[in-house]
Structure 1
Amino acid sequence: MNPRYILYIHLVINDIILLTMFTFIQVISYIVFTINTSLCIVSLMIAILANLNNPLTLAVMALECYIAICFPLRHTQICTVTKTYIVIGLIWMSSALSVLPDLFVALGTEDPEFFRSRLFCLRENIFRHPQLTTKRDISNIVCMVIIWLTLFYAYFNILFTAKAASKDANKARNTVLLHGFQLMLCMLIYVFQVTIEGLTYLFPKGVLTIRFTVAILIQVLPRLISPVVYGLRDKTFRRYLKRYLFCGANNQQQKL
């Protein structure tokens, strides 16, 4: 019933969705190399939506910290469970509005036979219209600028509004900084294709190995690190985690 933990769970769920789709695409591509175009589109759309949701969720989490510190008396009125679910719905809606034009352009410009063919599952191989690349770059830049401004706004308002000696204020500032670190990890996805192209140019015979290794380092590891770091530093989360871990261990010992 705590909006902060609802947002955190939403962040973790997005990571789970993204990693599931990523693993599916990578394994299928590594084993059979090409897959059905329609299946690739569905998998990519789900993965792209989850990937776009993460930075937006981090921005909302930073604003929640800002409200908790700068407006503590109004926090329970502003940050309610109902409003949190509405914000999550808006996050999904804005991500969908960002990626659906790509799908509509592909449906309108590609031959119907294209969607029954097989190809190597990459976003560039599906959404091939040249204007889509420009549109994607512009939307990514605008989105990242807005999110970074939100993080800076939250951080500096917490810094100057709250008392320096306040333990909660110090924790909130560190949390917003952690959101910035998580956002930088999310932004590694934008150098994914460039890194693969550069390494493939240097080592043309190891395309699959390069793609698999870079994907693990850039897409998987950041999403394994950030939720663990954010979750384990929270006292409430740690307390419940220990309780369930120890309860599970005690139950196993009792069965033995």
Structure 2
Amino acid sequence: MAYNNSLVVSEVILPQFTDIIIIVQVLVVIFLCINSLLIITFFRKECFYTTARYILFAVTLLSDSLMLVMSDILLILAHFGFAMQVWMCIIISVVVLVYNIVTPVTLTVMTVERYVAICMPLRHSQLCSIHSTKHCILIIHGLSSVPCIVVLSTFFASASFSLYKQPRICAIKIFMLYRWQDHVISAVQEFYFLIMVIIILFSYVKIMKVAKAASGEDKKTSWKGLKTVILHGFQLLLCLIQLWTPLIESTDLKLFSHVRLSNFIFFGLTPRCLSPLIYGLRDETFFHALKNFFGLYKRNI
């Protein structure tokens, strides 16, 4: 049986969230400014854009910034009840769906990079070279496109041609016309979730063993790498929970706006503010580069 995808009435999509929406806009602007500062710092020093982990870090910053902008725009449009034709929503949703997955996949790859650096140091320069990192970024985007292809393929196979010109509130839930689509998409998300969790746990266990066996400076480096993996794991958990939010949002139309706003704050903003903490502040090289950048900026003023 098909879902009822008729236009949502204004009282459902226009809750009195004005104050919270304003606060969210302030947070989004702050995070975008921080990310922009980190991206500028990344391109100012050669050691950053010639090192695999910093390149992957830049990918997460760009992905997070794009996701924050696009998700926030959709949130505002839904809040004010702005409807657009479905074909326009499809174009926007392609970007959102792909880059919603890019960050957790990149975090998983960054965890693998830490595993190679600590557990296989002699092969790190070979496996994590600039050339292999560029190929890895292409693979990341390829893997991140699979859920988007699944969502849109099931929609294209089920939707009538007239649906594309109908005005709707743009959200992932409008692509779920039948129950079986939920099951297919859930299966893909569960598979991604399982693989990423296995990789995180495997890397954690291996680094833990090396950290316990190491001594001196190696031990300090190993434990620091272990803490980084733990933070990646927490950040990844929040990102992976976000993969389930479209299904949660589609369960109850009356709660859609409440749930969508909560999901955006807890699973959209929160994991994306951890990247600056993990590599922008905890990493000594990047932290010193930030201090030098601020010092140079103040002198220019």
Q: Does TM, normalized by the shorter one, top 0.5? A: yes
162, 166, 174: which one aligns with 1:117: 166
Aligned to 2:10: none
Q: 2:245 aligns with which of 192, 195, 205?
A: 192
Letter in 2 for 1:39: M
Q: How many Å apart are 1:196 and its aligned residue?
A: 5.5
CA contact (8 A) 2:208 2:226 kept: yes
Q: Is residue 147 of structure 2 the alignment partner of residue 98 of structure 1?
A: yes
Which residue in the other structure is 1:64 paired with? 113
Count of residues in correspondence between the two structures:
247
1:229 aligns with 2:282: no
Using the size of structure 1 for normalisation, the TM-score is 0.88
Change (3 A) 1:148 1:207: closer
* d(CA) in 2 for partners of 1:116, 1:110: 11
The alpha-carbon deviation at position 127 of structure 1 amounts to 3.5
Cα deviation for residue 197 of structure 1 reads 7.3
Please point out which of 80, 84, 87 is paired with 2:133: 84
Mapping 1:110-149, distance limit 5 Å:
110-149=159-198
Q: Which runs of 4+ in 1 moved over 6 A?
A: none
State the identity %: 25
> Which range is displaced more, 243-252 or 128-137?
128-137
Question: Which amino acid is 2:237 matched to?
Answer: M
- CA–CA separation in structure 2 for the residues paired with 1:210 and 1:75: 43
When normalised by structure 2's length, the TM-score is: 0.75
- Does structure 1 conserve the Cα–Cα contact (< 8 Å) formed by 2:172 and 2:246? no
Specify the SS of the correspondent of 2:121.
Answer: coil
1:150 aligns with 2:204: no
Is the CA contact 2:114–2:229 (under 8 Å) kept in the aligned structure 1?
A: yes
The answer on whether the counterparts of 2:173 and 2:249 sit within 8 Å (CA) in structure 1 is: no
**For each residue in 1:108-137, what CA deviation from the matched residue of structure 2 results, as whole angstroms up to 9, or x when unmatched?**
321211111111112121242332211111
The residue number in structure 1 matching 2:73 is 24
Q: Name the CA distance, whole Å, in 2 between partners of 1:146 and 1:196.
A: 24
In 2, Cα distance between the equivalents of 1:43 and 1:159?
42
Residues 158 and 172 of structure 1 are in contact (CA less than 8 Å); yes or no, is this contact kept in structure 2? Answer: yes
What CA distance in whole angstroms lies between the structure 2 residues aligned with 1:55 and 1:218?
A: 12
Structure 2 distance, partners of 1:73, 1:212, is: 47
Q: Is the 8 A contact 1:2 1:81 kept in 2?
A: yes
Query: How far apart are 1:214 and its partner, in Å?
Result: 4.3
